[in-house]
Amino acid sequence: MSAAHPALALLAAAFAVAGSRGIAQRVLRVAGPALALAIWWSLEPGSTTGASVGGFEVLTVRVDALSLVFGLAMCGIALIGSVYSLHQRSAAESAAALVYAAGSLGVIFAGDWLTLFACWELMAVSSLLVIWSGASPRALAAGSRYLLVHAAGGATLLAGILLHVSRGGSFRVTPLDPSTADPVAFWLILTGVALNAAVPPLHAWLTDAYPEASVGGAVFLSAFTTKTAVYLLIRVFPGTELLVPLGVAMALYGVVYAVLENDVRRLLAYHIVSQVGYMVAGVGLGSPLALDGAAAHAYCHILYKALLFMGAGALIHATGRRKLTELGGVAGSLRWVVALYAVGAVSISGFPLFNGFVSKSMVISAAGEAHRSWTELLLTLASVGTFLHTGLKLPYFAFFAPDRGLAVRPVPANMYVAMAAAALLCFGIGVAPGLLYAQLPNGGGYAPYTAVHVATSVQLLLGTGLAFWALRGKLGGEPTRSVDADWLYRTPGRRLGGAIVEGCAGFGREAARGASALAARVAVATAAPTRLFAPFLDLLRGERTPDTAGFDEDAARMPIGATVLSVVAFLCAIALLAG
């Protein structure tokens, strides 16, 4: 049974948006994701769409439980993000954002490696345009670095895919078994996907670029790239042991850097790294509960992280400031923004009744069931850091810190509508987790609302809250920037690149100079061949030919006697040969 592709609605909308303006353009920006959602609704598990291309069975649509749950999240957030950014007038950015969402859906529903890679790269290029649409020098520079990193990641993934298929691996996107797959192909594909999942030290593109996008663009960015990579990890690398320590390291890495961060959206970006760490660890654990937990947490994370970015974006839109050291005293003017941000904050922090509580705990419980005490404890530690920064530090210092006399301009109604929709979904899934669990590949099979789980979660949050209150004097923003892995290509890498370019240019200059000198000598020798024999002729004539003289035909010309002699010799030779 063939199936339509939700991405087609987004691509069609993107083309239409690029060629329209005004009300029509805004309608199209919302209609595209709405139509994609309607197509998603019509998809039946087990249905496929494909064709034979050059002997390969290309499957552009493969519908199963995993692709459906991720597809729903992507269609939904594309709609919410489009509504949120309706006040932004850039047709190019809106079209790029829709293509970005289409690329993500293309990867999620791809049944073969060729389709997957094409959509993977479509996602990379369109997300770059979204970043560049930030239209500041910092956005342009961050986008250029983003391009550099993702070009390397894409090339790594492509090399892995080509090697995998050429060594007899399946053309279909199926789980890779490290014991049977080509080991080089396995690690190349894993590295390419891990880069998009922002696994340290391959993560710095995210925290570098996302805060530089426009407020609407950042909402799209927060959802698609990393979660599409998580989807692919679940699909291809379930139970890969290395992902457990990597996921735990990610969860803690983001938390540590968030303490030091002053930029509100960069702080949230570090928490993307941290939250994706839970998903990566869940994939590595590999049990049905852990894999469902990774998928459920990706779904919930897309919603609450978008809500947090929307709240931060509304704050930036209203005040024009993005750093904690420049913000404060605006809670009274932005009550609804504070309230809606708070829903995202309690969701990511794992408060009962909100979606983070019902998804994050699945991965932590899966670690407990696997008797991995350190994994369980360290992931719990990371969740303390999440509440500390996203739930307490950021809102306290951005909204409630002493008034700095900032002028606050109104927040557009479309921003509120989008934030309210995301908040409603965060709460809805929190109180009715069965709706989400029923969509999961293994059926969820998890009971989050046990008395002990609620009680221990409340204790953890209270302990964190008490510590924050005691430490709040030390947690304010500082006018600093944290050195991260991007330092490698921002400082020594830039210098090395500059040195290579300068070296090549210098070599080129010297080569050109040498070639010019050689050409000059050849030109002189060609015009006056006797110059080559000048030393011998000088001996015959008894005088020295001046070196610096230009072309002098008298000097160049052979003596008349020599010409006569050579003509006579030539004629004698002919006569001898003829005779």
Partner 1 sequence: MTRAGLAAAAVLALAVGVEVLAHGDHAGGFWHAIPGFHFVFGLLACYAIVVLSKGLGRLGIQQPDGDEWEP
- The interface region with partner 1, picked from 15-23, 125-133, 134-142, 299-307 by CB under 8 A, is 134-142
Q: Which two structure tokens, joined as six digits, stand for 141?
A: 């520079």
Q: How far is the CB of 323 from partner 1 (least distance, A)?
A: 8
- The interface region with partner 1, picked from 27-35, 137-145, 193-201, 241-249 by CB under 8 A, is 137-145
451, 549, 575, 578: which one binds partner 1 (CB under 8 A): 451
**Integer Cα distance of 73 and 227 in angstroms:** 10
Q: Given the complex with partner 1, which of 57 and 326 has the nearer CB atom?
A: 326
Q: How far is the CB of 463 from partner 1 (least distance, A)?
A: 3
Calculate Rg over the CA atoms of the chain: 33
**Integer Cα distance of 302 and 154 in angstroms:** 23
- The interface region with partner 1, picked from 308-316, 481-489, 511-519, 557-565 by CB under 8 A, is 481-489
Contact between residue 224 and residue 74 where contact means Cβ atoms under 8 Å apart? yes
Residue with tokens 């953890």: 460
- The interface region with partner 1, picked from 39-47, 52-60, 427-435, 455-463 by CB under 8 A, is 455-463
**Integer Cα distance of 121 and 91 in angstroms:** 21
Q: How far is the CB of 132 from partner 1 (least distance, A)?
A: 12
Q: How far is the CB of 351 from partner 1 (least distance, A)?
A: 12
The yes or no reply on residue 138 touching partner 1 (CB under 8 A) is yes
Q: How far is the CB of 436 from partner 1 (least distance, A)?
A: 22
Contact between residue 93 and residue 130 where contact means Cβ atoms under 8 Å apart? yes
The yes or no reply on residue 447 touching partner 1 (CB under 8 A) is no
Q: Given the complex with partner 1, which of 460 and 528 has the nearer CB atom?
A: 460
Q: Which residues between 247 and 266 bind partner 1 (CB under 8 A)? A: 255-257, 259-260, 262
Long-range CB contacts (within 8 A, 24+) of 401-406: 401/324, 401/327, 401/328, 401/329, 401/476, 402/328, 402/329, 403/328, 403/329, 404/326, 404/327, 404/328, 404/329, 405/329, 406/319, 406/321, 406/326, 406/327, 406/328, 406/329, 406/330
Q: Given the complex with partner 1, which of 67 and 380 has the nearer CB atom?
A: 380
Q: How far is the CB of 334 from partner 1 (least distance, A)?
A: 22
- The interface region with partner 1, picked from 111-119, 275-283, 432-440, 468-476 by CB under 8 A, is 468-476
Q: Which two structure tokens, joined as six digits, stand for 469?
A: 């209150």
Residue with tokens 């008490």: 466
137, 405, 473, 561: which one binds partner 1 (CB under 8 A): 137
480, 516, 563, 566: which one binds partner 1 (CB under 8 A): 480
CA distances to 6, 144, 223, 321, 360 from 100, in Å: 13, 17, 10, 27, 27
The yes or no reply on residue 25 touching partner 1 (CB under 8 A) is no
The yes or no reply on residue 473 touching partner 1 (CB under 8 A) is no
Q: Which residues between 482 and 521 bind partner 1 (CB under 8 A)? A: 482-484, 490-491
Q: How far is the CB of 465 from partner 1 (least distance, A)?
A: 7
Q: Given the complex with partner 1, which of 133 and 156 has the nearer CB atom?
A: 133
Q: Which residues between 352 and 381 bind partner 1 (CB under 8 A)? A: 365, 367-369, 371, 373, 376-377, 380-381
Q: How far is the CB of 479 from partner 1 (least distance, A)?
A: 5
11, 14, 72, 384: which one binds partner 1 (CB under 8 A): 384
Q: Given the complex with partner 1, which of 184 and 466 has the nearer CB atom?
A: 466
142, 298, 343, 415: which one binds partner 1 (CB under 8 A): 142
45, 175, 183, 463: which one binds partner 1 (CB under 8 A): 463
Encoded amino acid at 400, one letter = F
DSSP H or E segment with residue 220: helix 215-236
**Integer Cα distance of 397 and 392 in angstroms:** 8
**Integer Cα distance of 337 and 335 in angstroms:** 5
What b/e sequence results for 465-481 when a residue is b if at least 16 CB atoms lie within 10 Å of its CB, and e otherwise? eeebeeeeeebebeeee
38, 92, 140, 447: which one binds partner 1 (CB under 8 A): 140
3-state secondary structure of 50: strand
Q: Given the complex with partner 1, which of 466 and 523 has the nearer CB atom?
A: 466
Q: Given the complex with partner 1, which of 463 and 498 has the nearer CB atom?
A: 463
DSSP assigned state of 56: E
Q: How far is the CB of 356 from partner 1 (least distance, A)?
A: 16
Sequence-separated (6 or more) residues with CB below 8 Å from residue 558: 530
Cα-flanking dihedrals φ and ψ of residue 50, to 5°? -165, 180
- The interface region with partner 1, picked from 331-339, 434-442, 449-457, 499-507 by CB under 8 A, is 449-457
- The interface region with partner 1, picked from 20-28, 138-146, 197-205, 337-345 by CB under 8 A, is 138-146
462, 532, 558, 564: which one binds partner 1 (CB under 8 A): 462
Q: Which two structure tokens, joined as six digits, stand for 284?
A: 């590595």
3-state secondary structure of 284: helix
Q: How far is the CB of 303 from partner 1 (least distance, A)?
A: 25
The yes or no reply on residue 456 touching partner 1 (CB under 8 A) is yes
Q: Which two structure tokens, joined as six digits, stand for 142?
A: 């961050």
Q: How far is the CB of 464 from partner 1 (least distance, A)?
A: 4
Size of site (CB under 8 A) for partner 1: 54
Q: Which residues between 289 and 328 bind partner 1 (CB under 8 A)? A: none
Cα-flanking dihedrals φ and ψ of residue 421, to 5°? -65, -45
Class of residue 4 by CB neighbours under 10 A (exposed 0-12, middle 13-18, buried 19+)? middle
Three-class HEC string of 333-399: CCHHHHHHHHHHHHHHHCCCCCHHHHHHHHHHHHHHHCCCHHHHHHHHHHHHHHHHHHHHHHHHHHH
**Furthest-apart CA atoms within the chain: distance in Å:** 123
Residues that bind partner 1 (CB under 8 A): 137-138, 140-142, 255-257, 259-260, 262, 365, 367-369, 371, 373, 376-377, 380-381, 384-385, 388, 450-452, 454-468, 471, 474-475, 478-484, 490-491
